[in-house]
Chain A
Amino acid sequence: MEGFDKSPLSVKGLSIGYGKKIVVESIDFDLDPGTLCGIVGINGIGKSTLLRTLAGFQPKLGGQIGLKGKSLEAHTPSELSRQLSVVLTDPPASKNLGVLELITLGRQPYTNWLGHLTQEDRQAVQQSLEAFLLEDLLHQKCHQLSDGQLQRVLIARAMAQDTPLILLDEPTTHLDLFHRVQILKLLQGLAHRQQRTIVFTTHEIDLAIQLCDRILILDGRENPFGTPSDLIEQKHFERLFPSEMVRFDAGTGTFKVNG
C-alpha cells in the first residue's frame, strides 16, 4: 500500500464510527517501535471506538490504518494475530481459567492445530509471568484474583502473544493509584525494553503526561498528537475540558478544580 512507512502503527485521515454515523474524523498519527502512547479525551468522544477500529473489531469509515507497511484490512485473521494483541475492558468469559492457562492462550497464533507448546512457547509464557510479577499466582483461578492482579494477567497474555503492537482499552480503570502507576510503569518498561509499540486509552491524563512517549488527544476537531511536553506547550490540554470547571496547570502537568 502506498504512503505507508514500516512503523508498527500508522494512521492517516482516519474516520471512525458506527454505520454511517461518524464519531471522530481526521485522526493522524504514526508510532515508532518502543513507543508508549496514551489516547485521552472526554467520556464518549470515541476512545474505545478508535481502539476497536485499530484492532479490526469494527470497520473504519474512512482513511488508512497501516501495520508495518501493510493495510490492516489486508491482513488475514491469523496474520493479524501476530501483528497486534489486545487487552479489553471485558473480563475473560470463563472465570475458571487458571492464570497459567490464560497467559498460555496468548501463544495460540504460533501453536499447531492441537495447541501443542514448543520450548519457545513455554519461554515466552515464562518471560511474561516474570515481567508482570505473576509467578506466585500461577495456579490461581481468575475469580480468585483482585482487579489489579487480573489486569496484570491480561496484559501478560498480550505480551506472550509476542506482537509488535499491543492495544489496551482503559487498563487502569477500577484500580487504586498504586496499581494504576504499577500497570503503567510495567507497560512503559515493556515498550522500552522489548521495543513494543503500546497504545492505551485512559482517563489518567496526569499519569499519561508523566509516563507516555506520545499522547493522542481526541477532541473531535484537530485530534492533536505529539510528545506530552509539546502538547503542553501548544496548550492543547487547556482546551480538553470546559475551563469554568477545571484548568490545566502547565507548570505541574496536572489539572486543578476551579472555584
Chain B
Amino acid sequence: MSSKKPYGPSFILLGLALFLSWLLNISSGSVDIPFEQVLSILWQGGTEQTWDYIIWEYRVPKALTAILVGSGLALSGLLMQTLFRNPLAGPFVLGISAGASLGAALLLMGTSLVGSLAAFSLLGNISLALAASLGSFLVLLVVMSMASRVKDSMALLIIGLMFGSISAALVSVLAYFSSAENLQRFVFWSMGSVGNLSGSQLLLMAILVILGILLGVASIKPLNALLLGERYAQSLGISLVKSRIVIIIATGLLAGGVTAFAGPIAFVGLAVPHLTRQIFDTMEHRVLIPAVLLYGAVLMLLCDAVAQWPGSPSVLPINAITSLVGAPVVIWLLVRKRKIIF
C-alpha cells in the first residue's frame, strides 16, 4: 500500500537467515562431516566420495524438501487466516491434513483388511503420496462445494473442522482393526519426514507448491480486500465466489501436496504468519506472501537441523520438533499480547 515503509532490510536479513539455516541444515546429520568439507563439496565438489554422495544425494534434496514444506505450509496458513479472517486458521483447520491422513491410513491399514498389501509394497512411497493427496483433495472438493453454498466463512471453517473430525474418527477405526505392523507404518508417516524423497517425488511436490504459490500471488488483491470483510471486498469489485475458490485451491495444492509427501507437519502453517507479522508490521499481502515463504523455509530448515542433531545417529520425528517449537510460540504470542489480533 502507499506506506513506503522500508521492508528491504528485513527481507535481506530473512534471505541471509535462509542461507545460513540452509548451510546449517546441510552440515548437520548423523554422519559428521567437517564444515569446511561441506563448503568445498558444495562449491567445487569434494575429494571424499562418500561425503560427496551424502551431501548431494541426501542432504541437499532433504534441505530442498524442508524449504518447500516450510514455505508451502506457511503460505497455506496465511491464505487460510485471511480467507477466514481467523487468526487460528491453518491447513489443519480446513480438514486438508486430516483428509491426507485418512488417505494414507486407508492405504496403509485398510489394504490389510482386504489382504492386498502387495499393491502397496510394489509402488512404495509414490502410492502413499498418491493416497494422501487423493484424501486431502477429496476433503477439499467437499469443502469447496460447500463454499459456493455457504455464505458465511465462519460456517465454512466449522464445516472444515467437522470433516477433520470425521476423518480422524475413521483413521482411529482403521487403526483399531489394523495389524501392529501396518499401524506402525502409519504412525511413522504421521510423524512427518522431509528426508527419503525420491527425485520424482521432490519434483512433483515442487510443482504442486509452486502452482499454489502462483495462485496465491494472483490473489493478492482479493486477499487484501478480504481484510475489510466480505461485503467490503465485494464493493471493491472483487468476485467473492471466484476468489474464494482460487484461494481454497491454492491452499489445497500447498497443504495437500506437502502433507502427501512429508506427512502431517503441525504448527508451521499456524505459527509462521503470526511470527512474520512480528517483523513485518503490515497486513499487505504483497509483503506478507514473500515474507512467510522465507520465514517458513527458515523455520523448517532449523527444525530439521535440530531433528538431525550432528553426531547423533537417530533422527527425531520432525512433527514433534515443529510442535515443540510452534506450540510455545503461539502460547507466548497469546500471553504477551493477551489476545491474537487479526
Give me the interface of A with B, judged by CB distance under 8 Å.
Answer: 55, 57, 77-78, 80-82, 84-86, 88, 90, 92-98, 100-102, 104-106, 108-109, 111, 113-115, 117, 121-122, 125, 139, 141, 143, 161
A-B contact pairs, 11 of them (CB 8 A): A86-B232, A92-B229, A96-B277, A96-B341, A98-B3, A100-B3, A101-B283, A105-B1, A105-B224, A105-B227, A114-B286
Give me the interface of B with A, judged by CB distance under 8 Å.
Answer: 1-3, 82, 85, 218, 220-221, 224-232, 234-239, 277, 282-284, 286, 341-342
Bound CA–CA A85/B237 (angstroms): 10
Bound CA–CA A85/B239 (angstroms): 15
A97 and B283 contact, Cβ closer than 8 Å, known pairs A108-B221, A108-B225: yes
Instruction: Assess the B221–A88 pair: CB atoms within 8 A.
Output: no
A58 to chain B, nearest CB (A): 10
Bound CA–CA A121/B3 (angstroms): 12
A128 to chain B, nearest CB (A): 11
Partner of B238, one of A57, A77, A95: A77
Instruction: Assess the A101–B1 pair: CB atoms within 8 A.
Output: yes
Residues of A within 8 A of B284 (CB): 101
A114 and B239 contact, Cβ closer than 8 Å, known pairs A92-B229, A94-B342: no
Instruction: Assess the A84–B283 pair: CB atoms within 8 A.
Output: no
A21 to chain B, nearest CB (A): 18
Partner of B224, one of A55, A100, A115, A139: A115
Instruction: Assess the B229–A93 pair: CB atoms within 8 A.
Output: yes
Instruction: Assess the B235–A86 pair: CB atoms within 8 A.
Output: yes
A115 closest partner in B (C-beta): B221
A29 to chain B, nearest CB (A): 21
Instruction: Assess the B2–A80 pair: CB atoms within 8 A.
Output: no
Bound CA–CA A161/B237 (angstroms): 11
Instruction: Assess the A100–B2 pair: CB atoms within 8 A.
Output: yes
Partner of B286, one of A95, A108, A115: A115
Instruction: Assess the B3–A78 pair: CB atoms within 8 A.
Output: no
Residues of B within 8 A of A114 (CB): 220-221, 286
Bound CA–CA A105/B225 (angstroms): 7
Partner of B226, one of A78, A93, A115: A93
B28 to chain A, nearest CB (A): 36
Instruction: Assess the A101–B3 pair: CB atoms within 8 A.
Output: yes
Q: A100-B2, A108-B238, A117-B2 are in contact. List 7 more A-B contacts (CB 8 A).
A: A77-B234, A81-B236, A88-B231, A94-B82, A94-B228, A106-B236, A115-B286
A234 to chain B, nearest CB (A): 35
Instruction: Assess the A90–B237 pair: CB atoms within 8 A.
Output: no
Residues of A within 8 A of B229 (CB): 88, 90, 92-93
Residues of A within 8 A of B236 (CB): 81, 105-106, 108-109, 161
A113 and B1 contact, Cβ closer than 8 Å, known pairs A92-B229, A108-B236: no
Instruction: Assess the A96–B2 pair: CB atoms within 8 A.
Output: no
B93 to chain A, nearest CB (A): 17
Residues of B within 8 A of A96 (CB): 277, 283, 341-342
Instruction: Assess the A92–B221 pair: CB atoms within 8 A.
Output: no
Residues of B within 8 A of A97 (CB): 227-228, 283
Instruction: Assess the A104–B1 pair: CB atoms within 8 A.
Output: yes
Bound CA–CA A115/B3 (angstroms): 13
B281 closest partner in A (C-beta): A98
Bound CA–CA A47/B236 (angstroms): 22
Bound CA–CA A19/B3 (angstroms): 44
Residues of A within 8 A of B218 (CB): 113
Residues of B within 8 A of A95 (CB): 341-342
Instruction: Assess the B224–A108 pair: CB atoms within 8 A.
Output: yes
Residues of A within 8 A of B283 (CB): 94, 96-98, 101
Residues of B within 8 A of A121 (CB): 2
B165 to chain A, nearest CB (A): 26
Bound CA–CA A94/B230 (angstroms): 11
A92 and B238 contact, Cβ closer than 8 Å, known pairs A105-B1, A108-B224, A114-B221: no
A19 to chain B, nearest CB (A): 14
Residues of B within 8 A of A143 (CB): 341
Bound CA–CA A117/B3 (angstroms): 10
Residues of B within 8 A of A139 (CB): 3
Which of A78, A93, A109, A143 has the most CB atoms of chain B within a 10 A radius of its CB?
Answer: A93
Residues of A within 8 A of B225 (CB): 105, 108
Instruction: Assess the B341–A102 pair: CB atoms within 8 A.
Output: no
B86 closest partner in A (C-beta): A93
Partner of A93, one of B1, B85, B234, B239: B85
